[in-house]
Amino acid sequence: MDKSQKIVLITGVSSGLGLAMAKCFLAHGHTVIGVSRRRSDIALSHWIQADLTQDPDRVKIVRTVEAQFGHLDCLVNNAGMGSYATWEELPEAELRALFELDFFAPVALTKKLLPLLEKSHGSVVNISSAAGRLWVPCMGAYCAAKAAVAMFSNTLGIELAKRKIHVLDVAPGQINTGFSSRAFGHRPVPDSPGSGSTSPEKLANFVYCAWRKKQTRVTYPSMLKYALFFLRAIIPGIYQKVSLKLWKL
């Protein structure tokens, strides 16, 4: 196999960002192993049907990769879901289910795949969220889970640096995937400034370039990191007032 052609495992390939990233990596000539519960409608190199919240399914993923490929260059932990409810409204079972998928599943899968990634000096790419870097009312559980994912990436990156495993945290802003319609909670999601303008394909290309450049922490769009800092540090009072109005609190 051509050395520039990598073996990449992407979770959540049946829709949205995962599907777009799978297409992007395939278009660049890489082998893409996709994971999801529903089949993806693109021709992946290999598809593993799995519920990432179930440990036996995670074991199945690792065994399949070992048996069929014996090698892995990059794990993209993308599968996830949202939650639109206040802390008071959110049932504990939904909070736990959210953390199972958004936090515990990527941590568990990464740990199981580290031996393969160590051999290849590969990468772990975690899709967190801009929501993990800003306090968004009615999205507190999601913000907390994604902040945990970002901290997982940052600390893991340091722990693995000497073993030459690269870790990238990607914090996207709002992307057009229909993600909100599949979230927990029943709060209608207000339009936020600049929302609805970004396609999953653009983000996929951005992630691909960040992975190739071995970056460690990126927000998408790049300028968003300045906006987040501005909202948090410069105008927290105005941000809070606008949030209360937007979310009808």
Binding interface with ligand NAP (CB under 6 A)? 11-18, 36-38, 50-53, 78-81, 101, 127, 129, 172, 174-175, 177-179, 182
Q: How far is the CB of 155 from ligand NAP (least distance, A)?
A: 19
CB-nearer residue toward ligand NAP: 5 or 195: 195
Determine the distance from the C-alpha atom of residue 123 to the mean position of all C-alpha atoms in its chain, rounded to a whole number.
14
Residue 244: burial class (beta carbons within 10 Å; 0-12, 13-18, 19+): exposed
CB-nearer residue toward ligand NAP: 3 or 186: 186
DSSP string, 155-222: HHHHHHGGGT-EEEEEEE---SSSGGGGSBS-PPPPP-TTTT---HHHHHHHHHHHHHTT-SEEEEST
Q: How far is the CB of 90 from ligand NAP (least distance, A)?
A: 16
Determine the distance from the C-alpha atom of residue 27 to the mean position of all C-alpha atoms in its chain, rounded to a whole number.
20
- Contact assessment for residue 108 and residue 55, using Cβ atoms and an 8 Å cutoff: yes
Active site amino acids: 142
CB-nearer residue toward ligand NAP: 5 or 179: 179
CB-nearer residue toward ligand NAP: 51 or 201: 51
Q: How far is the CB of 77 from ligand NAP (least distance, A)?
A: 8
**Residue nearest ligand NAP, Cβ-based:** 16
Question: What is residue 14's three-state secondary structure?
Answer: coil
Q: How far is the CB of 145 from ligand NAP (least distance, A)?
A: 8
| Pairwise CA distance, residues 59 & 57, whole Å | 5
Distance between terminal CA atoms of the chain?
57
